[in-house]
Amino acid sequence: MGFFEAILVIYLRELYYPEGFEFPLNLIDPDILSFELIRELATIIMLVCIGLLAGKTGLQQFGFFLFSFAVWDLFYYCGLKLLIGWPDSLLTWDILFLIPIIWVGPVLAPVICSFSMIYMAALIFAGETAKKHFRMISHEWILIISGAIIIFISFIRDYTQLIVRGGYLNKLSSLTTNQDFINDLTSYMPENFRWGIFLLGEVLIISSLLLIHRRIVNIRKKPSVAHRL
């Protein structure tokens, strides 16, 4: 599915960026944009379904979703690199997602997120192997959710600022037909990626994962009742 997604994006780039993708963004037909949003939503639904079908518990299902999402994203970029030689480097900027607003950032950022998700999925599976009814505890979830929100902010920051500064917050339902917004959008260059914000989110997530890792190691060190007897 990662390669499939890459091929679809290649089609879009041939249509709207025949000379190669770069910022500022080119205007996309509103109908095509609607179809693209549906495609992104369908991809997320597909990944959720993988988790629901593969996992036996809610935590396992979440783990399989994370793992599938990460592998899909990594192979998406591998597909683009193999097929069209893009990106030029891990610091090349890309459109990462469009729901609920445009996400942008260097390719390295989602790659780091993908490896973090794989690590988290591996810990979930290891925890369930080490202990029946393994659960993540509240402060672990708080760190992960807080980190994820901060990372999300780092991705949507640029185009959120565009909307806020342009006074378009009260015109969100008509943005695709608002000529002033279209003019701003097609001339807007994203600012330098705020690695500090992104890395703060990653630090929170990795801190939680290290706590989970240590907890699993301690569970494995404890002798079972049968062993003690």
Boundaries of every domain in the chain: 2-223
**Per-residue pLDDT averaged across 23-52, rounded?**
93
Q: What's the mean per-residue pLDDT of the chain? A: 93
Phi, psi of 43 (to 5 degrees): -65, -45
Residue found under tokens 């979830």 = 141
Label residue 225 by pLDDT band (50, 70, 90). Answer: very low
Q: Which two tokens stand for residue 200?
A: 């703060």
Please, what's the b/e burial string for 97-134 (b: 16 or more CB within 10 A of its CB; e: otherwise)? Answer: beeeebbbbbbbbbebbbebbbbbbebbbbbbebeeeb
pLDDT reading at 229 higher than 80: no
Number of neighbouring beta carbons within 10 Å of residue 76? 21
pLDDT digits (tens, 9 = 90+) for 170-219: 888 888 888 999 999 999 999 789 999 999 999 999 999 999 999 999 98
Label residue 223 by pLDDT band (50, 70, 90). Answer: low
Q: What percent of the chain has pLDDT over 90?
A: 82
